[in-house]
Amino acid sequence: MAIYDSPRRGITIKEKEKLLPQEEKLEIGKQRKEFSIGIPKETDKDENRIALTPLAVDLLSNNGHSVMLEGNAGAAANFLDIEYVEAGANIVFSREEIFKNDIIIKISPFSIDEIELLQGKQVIMSFLHAKNQPEEIIRKLMQKRITAIAYEFLKDNYDNYPIVRSMSEISGTTSILIAAEYLSNVHNGKGEMLGGITGVSPTEVIVLGSGITAEYATRTALGLGAQVKVFDSCIHRLREMQTRVGERLYTSVFQPRILAKALRSADIVIGAVEMLENEPFFIVTENMIMNMKKNSVIIDISIDQGGCFETSQLTSHSNPVFVKHGVIHYCVHNIASRVARTASYAISNILSQVMLNIGGAGGIEHLIKEDTGVRNGIYIYNGILTNTYIGELFGIPAKDINLLMAAF
């Protein structure tokens, strides 16, 4: 039997409670945001990669975001415009239209001409290569109040640099395959096979460095049956690398006499040293190279930092090698672009998730408050320089982004 507050009105106590003023329930969930993404065609003749593959575009389109590509932007990586159209992208042939989008992503650093096309208060993403950029680039981005993210600064949840690591893995592996080409008769090399067979001595490969690039070069050379020697300045890093590779390797610190002796019998030398400002610009002297075997091969992956061979000179994909003292030198700064399709997939897998996270968080401002990895990737926030290294490089005052987050 129901209990009534007033028999004459016929209202129960529970019903009366419903009529009383209730506490307002505020929506505290995230406000998801949809945005437009522009992908211009790369103008650097040696850059064949693209930031998003058709599969990534399909994923973003299905989540409400719009993607606009400049015509033939993916052609160098063998992604056709029709593939992007089928994935939901719009293809345009006007660079001005591309640079009107909320987020513009590319591979090579933005040029002055490209920055001029930006509308202002947008998000841009690309490699930066700070040492090779003029101060004008940074100042123009600041003037347009751009929020800029550099791929080489982005971190993941494990405090790694995912894009840098992926490109390092590709460069290390590909360097051995390139060396194998120039060791063969195809490019007038010695006519030797990288590795070895029964009854024939294996190829001797020297790897300078012990980072990710060096590790993957070592893994690939070992997998092909070569004899590998690894040199580095730090015994601890050499020990760690040997543990990761899982095989006993010939390792040594950079002792000039020991290195010179090893170079005299080497068929391939891979330069994958992470150059530091207080170190010399080269590890291998010209005199050491003069004593190497004729038609041996040098691959200087460190060329983008100045090179670790005294005889190194920057080359391009269209003219990748030169011969000095009878030794073949390959000094292309962007080896990953040689396998552009694979490299594009690697970059796209990371960037597509960043794009989804930006939308899911309700915008870049909300994401960088909760995602320290993306926050680390930002070097300009809303026109304010936030990267101390770049600030010292160009003499521009930089502000701590963590403090800025408290103000915005």
Domain boundaries of the chain, sorted by first residue:
36-160+339-407, 169-331
Choose between 279 and 118: higher pLDDT.
118
Strands (E), 280-400: 297-300, 321-324, 327-330, 378-381, 384-385
Confidence tier at 246 by pLDDT (50, 70, 90): confident
Choose between 23 and 39: higher pLDDT.
39
Over residues 260-278, the mean pLDDT reads 87
The pLDDT tens digits of the residues spanning 166-194 come to 999 999 999 999 999 999 998 888 999 99
pLDDT recorded at residue 18: 52
Q: Which of 81, 304, 317, 325 is catalytic?
A: 304
Establish whether domains 36-160+339-407 and 169-331 are of one fold. Answer: yes
The pLDDT tens digits of the residues spanning 301-325 come to 999 888 999 999 999 999 999 999 9
- Tell me the C-alpha distance between 408 and 405, whole Å: 5
Q: What is the CATH number of domain 169-331?
A: 3.40.50.720
The Cβ-side half-sphere exposure at 267, using a 13 Å CA radius, reads 24
Over residues 379-383, the mean pLDDT reads 96
User: Is 304 known to be catalytic?
Assistant: yes
Confidence tier at 15 by pLDDT (50, 70, 90): low
Question: By three-state DSSP, how is residue 114 classified?
Answer: helix
Q: Which fold has domain 36-160+339-407?
A: Rossmann fold (3.40.50)
Give which of 131, 245, 263 is closest to 205, Cα–Cα: 263
The pLDDT tens digits of the residues spanning 75-93 come to 999 999 999 999 999 999 9
In this structure, is the dihedral angle defined by the CA atoms of residues 177, 181, 182 and 184, taken in order, positive or negative? positive
pLDDT recorded at residue 108: 96
pLDDT recorded at residue 304: 85
Helices 235-245 + 212-223 axis angle, to 10: 40
* Cβ neighbours around 109 below 10 Å, total: 18
pLDDT recorded at residue 13: 47
The pLDDT tens digits of the residues spanning 141-161 come to 999 999 999 999 999 989 999
Strands (E), 71-151: 90-92, 103-105, 123-126, 147-150
User: Is 317 known to be catalytic?
Assistant: no
* Cβ neighbours around 262 below 10 Å, total: 18
pLDDT over 80 (residue 7): no
Strands 378-381 and 384-385: antiparallel
Q: Which of 129, 187, 317, 325 is catalytic?
A: 129
Assessment of whether the complete model's pTM goes beyond 0.95: no
